[in-house]
Amino acid sequence: MAEIVRMPKMSDTMTEGVMAKWHKKVGDKVKSGDVMAEVETDKATMDLESYWDGTVLYIGVEEGKAVPVDAIIAVVGKEGEDYKAALDAEGGAAPANVEPATDKKAETPVEEKKETSSAPALTDADLEKQGVTVVRMPLLSDTMTEGVIAEWHKKVGDKIKNDDILADVETDKATMEVMGYAEGTLLHIGVEKGQAAKVNGIIAIVGPEGTDISGILSQGDAPAKPAADGKSDAPVEEKSSSSSQKEETPVASGSTDRVKASPLAKKIAQEKGIDLSQVAGSADGGRIIKKDIENFKPAAKVVEAGVPAEKSAPVIPQYVGEERFTEKPVSQMRKVIAKRLAESLFTAPHFYLNISIDMDNAMAARTAINSVAPVKVSFNDIIIKAVAVALKQHPAVNSSWRGDKIRFNEHTNIGVAMAVEDGLLVPVVRFADGKSLSHISAEVKEYGQKAKAKKLQPADWEGSTFTVSNLGMFGIDEFTSIINSPDGAILSVGAIQQIPVVKNGAVVPGNVMKLSLGCDHRVVDGATGAAFLQTLKGLLEEPIRLLV
């Protein structure tokens, strides 16, 4: 009987997995224990083993694709067995893009028939060939989703020239002018004054007088996709270039009236430091357009005889940069980081307590410890140990919110935040209060190597009761962290700084480290967190107490 292989839940936070690599293909023999594939989870890349003997009959997920937990990814059974019956019984038909080769051939003519059965809609480029221009709501800011027509400057039947202002549009940032960039008659106004239109929605149509526009309106707001041959763009480019080459008699824009200029002309003028009142506009009504700014030459100032020339302001060279960016798919780890931290920040009411620690004694103790320790002990190892000991004295900080109850943990499992290439991992040092500094140091170093190699297992990162995040090695003085749910608190550790301090009434050099305790106010109150920090301060300033 064919066996269904599903995406397993490989960690407590996993909701989907990416099929990193298949080690078997359809037709291959597999035995129980064979590695069928590698799955990238939110924490690491892990092996997916087969629990059955047989032949791979079906693979439902391509490499690089993500599938939710418990989704069907493969079928294993006897060679030649009908796997489709097993899929139908599970109600999990194969995705359209991952069907076996034999099924793809059967679908090909159906797909072709579907494409040829419907007549292609006219694109905006096709309409411009007919002299018709569809004016759509432009994207006037990076956050704009819709615009409100504040004012129409033209009405149906009016003649429109290139660079005429059709309307004022109120966006989420400002009120801006919209031009038609077309010549002809205003045939249709799609949005009344005061009404909103989605970005790319039809707000007007310009074309030859008497043109039937019912077919255009029946297509809806969404612009039709142009043909893939790329030929439709050529006439549009020719039209726009020819229209921009039309010469009109320049008309000076009066200084007493509002300066009329296109938004693009205003932007270029601002970048070049040109006063628009000195520019003669060549468009209708003396309106200033792009070519007027590009062709503008400032007139030389006439210096009157006997009057010394004023010292000219320094000329600031203009630098024109290019905005560029790249986009990458969100990794599984980054997806879960975003989801978990957003849930923590917006669910748990955070508050923060800050304290400064005199690290002189800790620095001396570390030097002495490392002279005899089998492994090098770091300041972070000392902090982990001190935190674990302090938590035993303050169980309210070593707690978590469970909805209808609060869990007070009697064990101290300290999560240690570690930066990796794709994001952040938090392996757990278990029962840290009972371990020596050398033991903690060796364990943290091993976790660090596993994290970089993506070899951490679910047991390594599950079950923390408190988290320590240290950015001191990067020179960060102090910072705050988001609580690693379901923990009730997190400690942010800054760098040790050498600063002047007052000791015994004298100003002397001192080594100070700042700590910030982030607390979930549902389980930790201010006084409770403050008492914990006082205990932690005492342990770090007198580290000999950690050995008692």
How far is the C-alpha of 268 from the C-alpha of 180, rounded, in Å?
19
The bridge status of strand 414-416 relative to strand 466-470 is parallel
**Dist. CA 320–CA 332, nearest whole Å:** 38
The DSSP line for 45-112 is EEEEE--S-EEEEEE-S-TT-EEETT-EEEEEESTT--HHHHHHHHT-PPPGGG--HHHHHHHHHHHH
If 0-12 CB within 10 Å is exposed, 13-18 middle and 19+ buried, where does residue 313 land? Answer: exposed
Is 394 catalytic? The answer is no
Determine which one of 70, 103, 158, 525 is catalytic: 525
Tell me how many degrees the CA angle 9-13-15 measures, rounded to the nearest 5. 55
To which residue do tokens 């200033």 refer? 288
Q: Where are the beta strands (DSSP E) in 441-488?
A: 466-470
Our answer to whether residue 284 is catalytic in this structure is: no
Which residues have a Cβ under 8 Å from the Cβ of 424 and sit 6 or more positions away? 333, 337, 417, 418
**Cβ-based neighbour number of residue 393 at 10 Å:** 13
**C-alpha distances out from residue 500 to 277, 356, 365, Å:** 59, 13, 21
Total Cβ atoms within 10 A of residue 201: 17
Tell me the C-alpha distance between 504 and 457, whole Å.
51
Which one of 23, 411, 439, 521 is the catalytic residue? Answer: 521
Pairwise CA distance, residues 162 & 180, whole Å = 7
**Sequential DSSP letters for 78-97:** STT--HHHHHHHHT-PPPGG
Q: Active-site residues: which are they?
A: 521, 525
